[in-house]
């Protein structure tokens, strides 16, 4: 799928209209976040190769389904802007604790259980804490 097709899907789904109707930009501004504030994060994302990853992912077959899901997920984005950044720091620490606990609690006597341990350890020990810390940084940037 090329960029033009993705943009057409976004237009057909009226994503920008729904962002406006839900007041996401107003909520972001009320939380002290402006689009200008995100420029350093976008530059950082570009330095780490996120833009090139996005360029390669945009051709994946699941992108249309994600675009179709976006209008349903927009209310969650508005709610997320009201989260206190300290809660995200706590979530990151809790997730690290959960990762350690699951390795201890889940027995490693079968291949399936070791695979489950590995999956949960990566999810709870890396993905969730990283997402929580980035979210806390973005939400706390202007507060």
* DSSP assignment of the chain: --HHHHHHHHHHTTHHHHHHHHTHHHHHHHTT--TGGGHHHHHHHHHTTHHHHHHHHTTSTTHHHHHHHHHHHHHHHHHHTTS-HHHHHHHHHHHHHHHHHHHHHS--SSHHHHHHHHHHHHIIIIIHHHHHHHHHHHHHS--
pTM: 0.55
> Given pLDDT bands bounded at 50, 70 and 90, which one contains residue 90?
very high
- Rounded to whole angstroms, the Cα distance separating 32 from 38 reads 11
Region 107-127: mean pLDDT is 93
Tell which wins on pLDDT, 15 or 114. Answer: 114
87 pLDDT band (50/70/90 cuts)? very high
pLDDT tens-digit profile of 26-84? 777 777 777 777 777 667 667 767 666 666 666 677 777 777 777 777 778 778 778 89
Query: Does 83 or 21 have the greater pLDDT score?
Result: 83
pLDDT score of 122 more than 60? yes
């Amino acid at each position: 799928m090329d960029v033009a097709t993705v943009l057409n899907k976004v237009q057909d789904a009226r994503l920008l209209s729904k962002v406006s109707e839900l007041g996401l930009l107003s909520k972001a501004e009320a939380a002290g976040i402006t689009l200008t504030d995100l420029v350093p994060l976008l530059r950082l994302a570009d330095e780490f190769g996120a833009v090139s990853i996005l360029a390669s992912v945009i051709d994946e077959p699941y992108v249309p389904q994600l675009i179709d899901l976006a209008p349903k997920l927009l209310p969650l984005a508005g709610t997320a802007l009201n989260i206190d950044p300290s809660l995200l720091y706590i979530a990151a620490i809790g997730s690290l604790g959960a990762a350690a606990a699951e390795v201890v609690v889940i027995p490693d006597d079968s291949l399936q259980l070791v695979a489950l341990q590995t999956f949960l350890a990566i999810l709870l020990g890396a993905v969730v804490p990283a997402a929580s810390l980035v979210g806390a940084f973005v939400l706390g940037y202007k507060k």
